[in-house]
Chain A
């Protein structure tokens, strides 16, 4: 057990956990929601939830797993609650207006928008894969999803992204 809630040590540990994982939690929410202000709100709620559950956290690795899982779940909840952006299939997303070569900062922005427009499950899988660099089995465990489903989401999403970018002349040289 890394801390007991309600003690001074717990407060210190909590502050350290926030400092250590703030960019991870914020980025998961930001890449999911594509809105900085909402992502900060979500990240804050995730950390406050961690504070309430600090007594059940057994190790640093457990804290990391817990935060990743809570951030994804909370981001999904927020997506459903707000419905700021109508959810559409990736195939229906408008083609990005860009002619820049790959490596251009605009390509990153377009990719982030395409990811943010994915349905919830494939979006979570792609963000955990490429932001957090998790392997499919780790993603499957975190999302409580069959490994085959994770692999399918990855494969299909990559295929559609590749096709959309290729239509605009952005692809493997």
Chain B
């Protein structure tokens, strides 16, 4: 091994990471991530719930619109009926 290789060995000597590195790694390893199937199942439940909620809300809105239309038609009909009665008298 010549002088340059000796210098390279010196330059590339192993170095220590910051103090507490091993502890931080061990702590991070203990915080195990959620298994993928649980994450997928949770996503499916949330999305299904959201879809069901949206369908229920849309149904409710449609029902309200129908009721409003019926009420308006009824009022109009009442007005026409009143007018017909007035004409007859």
Contacts and interface: CB of A to CB of B under 8 A. Distances in A.
Interface of A: 11, 14-15, 18-19, 22-24, 26-27, 30-31, 36, 39-40, 43-44, 47-48, 51, 102-103, 107-109, 111-112, 115, 126-127, 130-131, 133, 158, 161-162, 165, 171-173
Interface of A is mostly: helix
A173 B13 CA distance: 23
B2 A24 contact: no
A26 B15 contact: yes
Contact of B26 (A14, A103, A165): A14
B12 A112 contact: yes
Contacts, number: 92
Interface of B is mostly: helix
A158 B2 CA distance: 11
B30 interface: yes
A165 B4 contact: yes
B9 A130 contact: yes
Given A11-B30, A44-B24, A172-B2, 19 more contacts: A11-B29, A18-B22, A18-B25, A23-B16, A30-B15, A31-B12, A40-B17, A40-B21, A47-B29, A48-B28, A102-B3, A109-B11, A111-B11, A115-B11, A115-B12, A130-B12, A133-B9, A161-B4, A172-B4
B8 interface: yes
Interface in B1-41: 2-5, 7-18, 21-22, 24-26, 28-30
